[in-house]
Structure 1
Amino acid sequence: MGTGEKLVLLGRIVGVHGVRGELKLESFTEPRMQIFRYQPWLLRSAAGEKRVDGCIGRAQGKGMVVELPDIADRDAAVSLTGAEIWVARSALPAAKPGEYYWSDLEELEVVTLEGVSLGKVSHMVATGANDVLVVKDEKRERLIPFLIDRFVMKVDFESGRISVDWDPDF
């Protein structure tokens, strides 16, 4: 992972499993086991950052368990509880047409069909019904449902803009 390379959050270490240093893992990938295809990982925690490669995992009931190189006992594993799992964006496959990685949408300018800038995408939020763009400018924050052809008319990476059918006063 080079300096300045865009990183994507793919999961989190949520606990320890057993006494041999295995860790419980929460994956944000779909399907969840895909997380092991994208390596190396950058583990970020309050203690700092650690780059790891060669992570091996398995499904364990409703959860997942991972073995990390150089982690051979429970004490070493405990120190990684809560760490986020990040990977270089370049390690992920290209998005299919009409699909988007949330991280690729962040920082894009959001503009109404009339050309009014609403700000930039701060981040995305998953809801039960649909994903939502969180758009911020210097004055306010707007939540715009990420529904293609209903509110989101066009995502244009070349211009760095997302065109939306949205009332600027809402």
Structure 2
Amino acid sequence: MMVLGRVSAPFGIKGWLKIQPFGDDPLSWAEMPEWWISPDADAPPEQWRATRQLACQQHGPGLIVQLEVSPDRNSAEALKGWFVGAPREAMPAPADDEYFWGDLIGMQVVNLAGESLGKVDSLLSTGAHDVLRIIDDESERLIPFVANYVIEVDAKDGYIRVDWQKDW
């Protein structure tokens, strides 16, 4: 299951939900007629609950959505903090040079000198841009996921080449 975002709050009195997206094109989710929700982002796929999407629109940097499972304010409040996800096959295909966060997790990161910096443990959204959190045996590095530093993402071979020194 690919985790797409999180329910941050109810919105209004008719069961709408405010969604904090974990990515930069959440409006593309409006194409998915069915969404999956779970209180645990790491839950196995069979523990995610499928629900039909009734309406979806952009609201500031996030989304507001009306799901079949949330017909009123009380049910919306009960879903606060739940995660929104989808099976990979339900996701719209990413454009060239776009990646799902989940695809980057676990990739080996190497610098221009060929030195290993570790593996991508997670990504952070700072508002200005996303940041790769790289972990190795000795340290943690935070590298902005922007063209100035990320030179190449090779999804086929599972590595990311960055312009970043090992001692930074």
Shorter-chain TM band: 0.7 to 0.9
Q: Give the aligned partner of residue 157 of structure 2.
A: 159
Distance (whole Å) between structure 1 residues aligned to residue 27 and residue 86 of structure 2: 15
TM-score, structure 2 as length reference: 0.77
Distance (whole Å) between structure 1 residues aligned to residue 159 and residue 27 of structure 2: 33
Q: How does 1:21-100 map to 2 (within 5 A)?
A: 22-28=15-21, 32-45=26-39, 49-59=47-57, 65-100=64-99
Structure 2 residues without counterparts, runs of 5 or longer: none
Structure 1 residues without counterparts, runs of 5 or longer: 1-5
Distance (whole Å) between structure 1 residues aligned to residue 124 and residue 6 of structure 2: 15
Counterpart of 2:10 (choices 11, 15, 21) is 15
Tell whether the 8 Å contact from 1:14 to 1:81 is kept in structure 2 after alignment.
yes
Q: How much has 1:85 moved relative to structure 2?
A: 0.8
Q: Give the aligned partner of residue 123 of structure 2.
A: 124
Q: How much has 1:93 moved relative to structure 2?
A: 2.2
Tell whether the 8 Å contact from 1:111 to 1:162 is kept in structure 2 after alignment.
yes
SS in 1 for 2:49: strand
Tell whether the 8 Å contact from 1:57 to 1:64 is kept in structure 2 after alignment.
no
Larger radius of gyration: 1
Moved more, 114-123 or 53-62: 53-62
Distance (whole Å) between structure 1 residues aligned to residue 76 and residue 144 of structure 2: 39
Distance (whole Å) between structure 1 residues aligned to residue 113 and residue 26 of structure 2: 40
Amino acid at match of 2:36: L
Q: How much has 1:81 moved relative to structure 2?
A: 2.1
Distance (whole Å) between structure 1 residues aligned to residue 126 and residue 64 of structure 2: 27
Residues 109, 39 of structure 1: alpha-carbon distance in 2 compared, 3 angstrom cutoff: farther
The percent of aligned pairs where both chains have the same amino acid is 33
Distance (whole Å) between structure 2 residues aligned to residue 60 and residue 31 of structure 1: 10
Q: Give the aligned partner of residue 134 of structure 1.
A: 133
